[in-house]
Homo-oligomer: A and B are copies of this chain.
Amino acid sequence: MLVYNRFYGNDTGIVTKYVVFFYFRSIFVFMAVTIKDIARHSGVSVSTVSRVLNKKPDVNTETELRVNKAIKKLGYSPSSVARGLVLKRSNVLGFVVPDITNPNFPELARGVVEKARQYGYSVIFFDTNHDNKVEKEAINLLRSKQVDGIIVSFSEANQVELGKLKEEKFPAVQIYRKSPNSVISTIAIDNVDSAYKAVKYLLSLGHKQIGHLTTGISTLSGAERLEGYQKAYKESGLVYRDEWIFSGSHCADTGYDGMKIFLDQKEPVTAVFASHDLMAVGAYEAVFEKGLTIPGDISIMGHDNIEISRLVHPKLTTIDTYKDKLGQAGVELLLEEMAERSRINREIIFKTELVVRDSTRQIS
């Protein structure tokens, strides 16, 4: 065995090391075993082997045994590609998300992949990085790969594309983010009710001035959660002020920015409901910077119950959205669509659940 190491630096400043091993072993060129080989080896025809493989009738028990022995011996595994060509299905699903590094999506992805596996499907995964062009590209690629169905989490921009799929009865479901005009079947959560529940909880703790860090009306979920906030206020008979609402984005920094503004107001809010946990955690920083405490001086609530929420100090009160269940339900709905191939759209809305932790408190 010959070994050599090479160290070198590259323009990123990362130094990499090469360790190369040369193996001198029996030379063995991999040749794929086909159904023909099995047929020849077991002295039957390919169609008989096919019947054995697919557990169809009209096969002698003895023949079956012989064929299975050959399959095992030669380590044969049918080519999904050839099978897909004939049967026009691939047993592969497509899954397209805007950003896997957004903490909501890994759990969703796990739910999807796990459930798909249970049903015998593999999953081709795309991360579009919020790029509409890539979204479109992904759809085309997945179709040319002949996936049996797709699960997407698209922005408004490409809903038209999804509508086209529906026209063709190509199985597709939108997950996590709602399909704005319900052009395809959807799995989502009841954002209005969820935010309503959150704000109602804060009101029940005695808070009357509740700020809201929203992602703005640019995202549907943001708009819905804002609606829930408003609904809770309306029902309580109290009124909120416009300056208690701050529009941020999907990242934590905007929570910090918003909270800073809230704290600088003459009559600061006593509680804040953030549209997602990351903003809530960002808000923490602004509170600490002012030398204030949570929940002593101000109560903070998030939404989504991502992992971070139970790791920060104090642990964040939030709303669980059952992301893995959403992913699983997405696959199940997709499989239904694949079976039916109708143009009916279903919309399955999950209720969410309040998770009370340490970032909120009762005030007199």
CA distance A15 to B79 in the complex (A): 42
Known: A77-B140, A322-B14. A101 touches B107 (CB 8 A): yes
Interface size on A, residues (CB 8 A): 86
Known: A77-B144, A106-B101. A350 touches B14 (CB 8 A): yes
Q: A residues bordering B, Cβ < 8 Å?
A: 12-23, 25, 28-30, 32, 77-82, 84-85, 88, 90, 92, 95, 99-101, 103, 105-107, 109-110, 113-114, 117, 122-127, 129, 134, 140-146, 167-170, 182, 190, 252, 278, 281-282, 284-285, 288, 307-308, 311-313, 322, 325, 343-351, 353
Tell me if A19 and B109 are in contact (CB < 8 A): no
State how many angstroms separate the Cβ of A28 from the closest Cβ of chain B. Answer: 6
Tell me if B123 and A124 are in contact (CB < 8 A): yes
| Chain A to chain B contacts (Cβ below 8 Å), 16 pairs | A12-B322, A17-B190, A17-B347, A21-B345, A23-B344, A30-B169, A79-B85, A79-B146, A82-B85, A122-B124, A125-B125, A252-B311, A281-B311, A307-B308, A308-B308, A311-B312
CA distance A114 to B92 in the complex (A): 20
Tell me if A126 and B113 are in contact (CB < 8 A): yes
Task: Tell me which of B25, B82, B106 contacts A343 (CB under 8 A).
Answer: B25
Tell me if A20 and B313 are in contact (CB < 8 A): no
